[in-house]
Structure 1
Amino acid sequence: MPNGAKTPDSPNILLILNDDMGFSDIGCYGGEIQTPNLDRLAANGLRYSQFYNTARCSPSRASLLTGLHPHQTGIGILTYSNGPEGYAGDLNKSCVTIAEALKSRNYTSYLSGKWHIASSLTEPTDTWPMQRGFDHFYGTIIGAGSFYHPNTLTRGNDNIEHEAVKDPSFFYTDAISDQAAAFIRQHKAQKPDAPFFQYVAYTAPHWPLHAHDEDIAKYKGRFDAGWDKLREERLKRLVDDGIIHPNWRLTDRDPTQPPWTDAEQREWTLRCMEVYAAQIDRMDQGIGRILKALDETGQMDNTLIIFLSDNGACAEDIPEGVTAKELVDQLMIAQAKTRDGRPVRFGNDPTLMPGAEDTYQSYGTAWANLSNTPFRLYKHWIHEGGIATPFIVHWPRGISERGGLRHNPSQLTDVMATILDVTGATYPKEYNGNAILPCEGESLVPSFASAYGNRGPLFWEHEGNAAVRVGKWKLVRKYPGPWELYDMETDRTEMNDLAAQHPDRVREMTAQYQQWANRCGVIPREKILELMKAEGGTAFWEEEKQK
């Protein structure tokens, strides 16, 4: 399909984002986790091997929904209003969301799931979904929390946390899926001839490790070989499937982690990964119900479906530099008690198996290292482990190839550009009286028909971690360290730093990065830390400074 070409009828858009999942966790990207519904989309659509997010929850959501870099939207880091860490922490009025842009084509927009781009968690503001273009919203404003009793559960602009308390079967992943499927059926019944935009934003598999016993049981024994052998097996599958080039070496095991043969607390350690896998499995089951709703309403063929993750796998321990009281009272990402009154037990305690409502744990660095196979580093960082995501595109009416691979480097800003392209929607220069920054993305539509050449430069910054990619070259920095340079054609796993051999290229790309950073409002990390020191800051933010 040539660039700019449209189908006779404007397609529906189904954008599915999940939370804190590694590059190679799902089945169709080499993982052990059973994801038949995502695998089905991949087998009948396209997989992209070099699509990038922005390494963290809130910035990725802001960039995905607006087609801008996160700093341009007011979401510099997160949404908490603790001094400069958020760069305001609210979606500003210099951007429009996909939902707002699609109003020019009479789309009805639905959101089921996590918002996490507003600093006000309890009172509706002009940065909440209903105020930013969505016609219907069911989900959470906060960025994480209990899957059995999530804080800030909202319908429209009204808090409905009591619904989870009253329903003993409530589980947030299921609720997101079922509401998304209900929205699709509702739309077909009420507006059969109009297109819809549906944004489904899961919190799975973000910690805490909460899952159903029957899902956890499916993975008993699946990870017993340990992270070292499993990383090698994943790499082989990725190479065999053409996602990873055979010349790219597997990164070393994270140096802070022991070989599997020396791992302690084996039963608990394995259980952590089994629960993590069960979280993704449950999400895939729900995606299956959403796809069933599309099939049963006759809307599958002309629905553009996109699936991706908001950042690489998360290596954080729970709690890490933050008390249980802060998790509950200040950050609002946990409940102190279960719905039936039992105390929630916080922290990665090997004597306590994760999964149940009264636990609050994470799966740790070694398993995150497996999740990001074959790359290194994690969420927060701009090395490939932090920003590489699976990216699946499925659209029977608009994409003829089935099971194709695309190796085009692309990033979140390109999603808005793509949706504008296929819908014919107009991206405004002004919206509600406010000047709107130009979209930063480039449409992926040319890649629907065949692979094509490199897009323009790609840029990232998060907490001082930064990168620029120009063609095959990637300049990247782990703050406060020096710039590193990698040839992504021969060494995408970033094993051979070429900065010393190419000082002129480093200078040129550094200048490109700095020009972008200045234009997009990136505050240098040093300045952020100076301001934080002057203002004091909570233990949580003190921990953030050390990352």
Structure 2
Amino acid sequence: MTKRPNIVLVLADDMGFSDLGCYGGEISTPHLDGLARNGARFSQFYNTARCSPSRASLMTGLHPHQTGIGVLTNNDLPRGYPGNLNGRCATLAEMLKAAGYATCLSGKWHLATDMHTPNDTWPTRRGFDSFFGTLTGCGSFYAPGTLTRGESDASAEALDPGFFYTDAIAAHGADFIAEQAAAGNPFFLYAAFTAPHWPLHAPDEDIARYEGRFDEGWDALREKRMERLVAEGILPADTTLSERDPTQPAWTAEEHKAWQAKRMQAYAAQIEGMDRGIGRIVEALKASGTFENTLFVFLSDNGASPEDLPQFDVETFMQRADILPRATRDGRPMRVGNTPDIVPGAEDTYSSYGRAWANLSNTPFRFYKRWVHEGGIATPLIVHWPAGGFADGAILDAPTQLVDIAPTILDVTGASYPPPALGRAVAPLEGRSLLPLLRGGSLLEAPLYWEHTGNAAIRVGRWKLVREEPNGWELYDLAADRTELVDLAADNPDIVADLAARWQAWAARVGVIPWDVTVGIYVERGQHPSLAAG
């Protein structure tokens, strides 16, 4: 009998569609590139446009609204989402643990409203035998908030001057692999990196390796990425590059070119550091003799982030101690913001890389994280399994999404759904196994759906109906116009009506709460409506 495959699921945070080398980027990602060129790459795989909803969908095989996490982890009961994983879903860890797998989360959870008191929405209570990581959504890479080991505070571990969160996530994951392989146990590792989410933190030597790499600026680099995307086979040769974000200046008009280049250098260094950590996990698989029979999956939780810092005024922002330390570990004040006097990378800085560079990261698409146009939801997906019997180097173009990951892993491992003796009823899985596609076959066409903060979309075959809240529906033929440049809604009212009706039926079925209801909750509380988005 063939031994059951191990599962390694790796998630990046806020990484754009074309940042990896094997997806056209300038960033050095040799470990992921190697897995991609010896495995399979997907060109039309989709997430949910935002952090917590993507993690909820990835973990459960359901749409995020079904899990209780429609926005982020805010508790908006009784009329809104609870912001917690509810009891009507099962996690991959629960599924695989019931099938005899050892289970580990190393990294970010961000699926619990209460991040300080262990409860039924913590990873240790949702199937993970081992947990080292953070419960909050983002934070310092030098001293991350809510750092936890098991169910105990692990913040003292970050006092080590050599601590860096990306490296720590990789180390814990590699140690777990070595331990379980030595014990002869099949294992499931979920490595959820926080890179390259802001803040832009990276060692000086990593940033220095990118000196000069981005000096051409976002306009020229977007064109070069487009050429490489076509050369890699990720996009057809007739794909049109969208224009630069109209809110951003041409590179030739940018006043602070040197500082802007440093921002992108720091972002690139974050991704290279994550790739190096993935290399450490791969080496642990090889050293333990489990590499050939491990299904390795890599993707990002949403498109690149255009978010500015501070998100509110500095004092309000700094009240979120789980996100932003008030001082460095050696007592220096934090320097928060995206201004030329703050060059990112060091522990005392807290910056993001800005909308123009996010536009580069999402080449060739428009829009970003939070939107459900292609720039918000298109992610790289790399799948590697040498013993799995699928073609090395394949590029797969079928439209697929997060709800397909859990059925695929269940198909590969033979685990049952729902897990036996779970003790609660759970919703049926929403996706389908990708294994036939990976082995050279085809998938039955299935409609794909999205909703996040009022932004909504449905894709059926070549047609995508999409809206940016509070605007009306737009219609695109993605077979001819992947970058969503020519709105065909006015010429195809019947298609618009049909797809809109199908989207509405889906929204009612999975429990989408209208965005104006969620916003109204915050207005009634006397809070600014923007806080409804988390």
Q: What's the CA shift for 1:451? A: 5.2
Displacement of 1:10 in angstroms is 1.1
2:365 equivalent among 353, 356, 375: 375
Distance, in Å, in 1 between the alignment partners of 2:79 and 2:105 is 27
Q: What does residue range 361-372 of structure 1 map to in structure 2 within 5 Å?
A: 361-372=351-362
Q: Tell me, yes or no, if the aligned pair for 1:248 and 1:493 is still in contact at 8 Å.
A: yes
**Where does 1:228-267 land on structure 2 (aligned, <5 Å)?**
228-267=219-258
Residue 390 (1) aligns with residue 380 (2) = yes
Quick check: 1:84–1:528 contact (8 Å CA) kept in 2? Answer: no
Higher alpha-carbon deviation: 149-158 or 99-108: 99-108
Alignment correspondent of 1:283: 274
Q: Secondary structure at 2:297's aligned position in 1?
A: strand
Report the residue type matching 2:457 in the other structure.
Answer: A
Q: Deviations over 1:300-339 (max 9, x none)?
A: 000000000000000011112x233333334621100000
SS of corresponding position for 2:483: coil
Distance 2:445 2:8 in 1: 24
2:463 aligns with one of 473, 492, 502: 473
Q: How big is the shift at 1:342?
A: 0.4
Kindly indicate whether residue 163 of structure 2 is the aligned counterpart of residue 175 of structure 1. Answer: no
The alpha carbon displacement at 1:158 in A equals 0.4
Further displaced range: 98-107 or 220-229? 98-107
- Deviation, 1:429, is 7.6
Corresponding residue number in structure 2 for 1:205: 196
Structure 2, unaligned runs of 5 or more:
none
| Cα-to-partner distance string for 1:433-490 (whole Å, 9 max, x where unaligned) | 3210001011000111125245310000000001000111100011011100011100
Show CA shifts across 1:370-394 (max 9, x none): 0000000000000000000000000
Q: What is the alpha-carbon distance in structure 2 between the residues aligned to residue 453 and residue 445 of structure 1?
A: 9
Partner of 1:448: 438
Match of 1:149 in 2: 143
In the aligned structure 1, how far is the partner of 2:294 from the partner of 2:526? 49
CA, structure 1 residues 451+381, in 2 after alignment: closer, same or farther (shift >3 Å)? farther
| Distance in structure 1 (CA, Å) of the matches to 2:99 and 2:511 | 31
Match of 1:333 in 2: 323
Which one-letter code corresponds to 1:335 in the other structure?
Answer: P
Tell whether the 8 Å contact from 1:45 to 1:399 is kept in structure 2 after alignment.
Answer: no
1:487 — aligned with what?
Answer: 477
Name the SS for the 2:289 alignment partner. Answer: coil
Aligned residues: 534
Quote how far apart the aligned CAs of 1:86 are. 6.5
Contact 2:39/2:392 (8 A) holds in 1: yes
Provide the residue aligned with 1:108 in structure 2.
Answer: 102
8 Å contact kept, 1:275–1:355: yes
How far off its partner does 1:236 sit? 0.5
CA distance 1:420–1:176, change in 2 (3 Å): same
Matched with 2:283 is 292
Match of 2:59 among 44, 62, 65: 65
Which of 20, 24, 49 is the matching residue for 2:14? 20
The question of whether the paired residues in 1 share the 8 Å contact of 2:519 and 2:532 is answered with no
Instruction: Give the drift of 1:103.
Output: 2.4
Partner of 2:177: 184
- Given the superposition, is the C-alpha separation of residues 424 and 491 from structure 1 closer, same or farther in structure 2, using an over 3 Å criterion? same
The structure 2 residue matched to 1:216, chosen from 185, 207, 210, is 207
Aligned to 2:491: 501
C-alpha RMSD of matched pairs (Å): 1.5
Partner of 2:293: 302
Q: Confirm whether residue 51 of structure 1 aligns to residue 45 of structure 2.
A: yes
Q: What is the CA-CA distance between 1:428 and the residue it aligns to? A: 1.2
Give 3-state SS (helix, strand or coil) of 1:76's partner: coil
Contact 1:302 1:396 in 2 (8 A): yes
C-alpha contact (below 8 Å) 2:76/2:83 kept by paired residues: no
Contact conserved, 1:22 with 1:372, CA < 8 A, in 2?
Answer: yes
Pick which of 258-267 and 17-26 moved more: 258-267
Stretches of structure 1 that go unaligned for 5 or more consecutive residues are 1-6
Query: Separation in 2 of the partners of 1:272 and 1:34?
Result: 16
Shift in alpha-carbon separation, 1:84–1:278, aligned structure 2, 3 A = farther
Contact 2:332–2:348 under 8 Å retained in 1: yes
Contact 2:120 2:126 in 1 (8 A): yes
Confirm or deny: 8 A CA contact 1:16 1:307 kept in the other structure: yes
Of 105, 127, 130, the residue aligned with 2:124 is 130
Q: State the secondary structure of the residue aligned to 1:434.
A: coil
Deviations 1:463-522 (A, max 9, x none): 000100011110001101110001110001000001011100100000000000000000
**Residue type of the alignment partner of 2:327:** K
Answering whether residue 190 of structure 2 is matched by residue 196 of structure 1, we say no
Letter in 2 for 1:220: E
Question: Structure 2 length as normaliser, TM-score?
Answer: 0.98
Q: Matches of 1:369 and 1:358 in 2, distance apart?
A: 27
The equivalent residue for 1:10 is: 4
Instruction: Give the distance between the partners of 1:85 and 1:36, measured in 2 at CA.
Output: 47
Does 2:77 match 1:77?
no
- Tell me the distance in 2 between the aligned counterparts of 1:432 and 1:290: 31
Q: Distance in 2 between matches of 1:298 and 1:455?
A: 37
Residue 88 of structure 1 corresponds to 82
Measured in 2, the distance between the counterparts of 1:531 and 1:156 equals 34
SS class of match (2:363): coil
Assess if the C-alpha contact under 8 Å between 1:130 and 1:136 holds in 2: yes
**Deviation per residue, 1:83-136 (Å, 9 max, x gap):** 679610000000000010112320110110000000011111100011000000
Counterpart of 1:348 (choices 326, 330, 338) is 338
Q: Take 1:103 and 1:270, find their aligned partners in 2: how far apart are those partners?
A: 46
Shift of 1:265: 1.1
Query: Once the two structures are superposed, what CA deviation does each residue of 1:118-170 show, in whole Å capped at 9, x if it has no partner?
Result: 001111110001100000000000010000000100000001101102x0010
* C-alpha contact (below 8 Å) 2:522/2:532 kept by paired residues: no
Identity of aligned residues (%): 57
Paired residue for 1:530, among 504, 512, 520?
520
Q: Quick check: 1:378–1:386 contact (8 Å CA) kept in 2?
A: yes
SS state at 1:246 partner? coil
Letter matched to residue 458 of structure 1: L
- Provide the C-alpha distance between the structure 2 equivalents of 1:216 and 1:459, rounded to a whole number of angstroms: 38
* Shift, 1:528, TM fit: 1.6
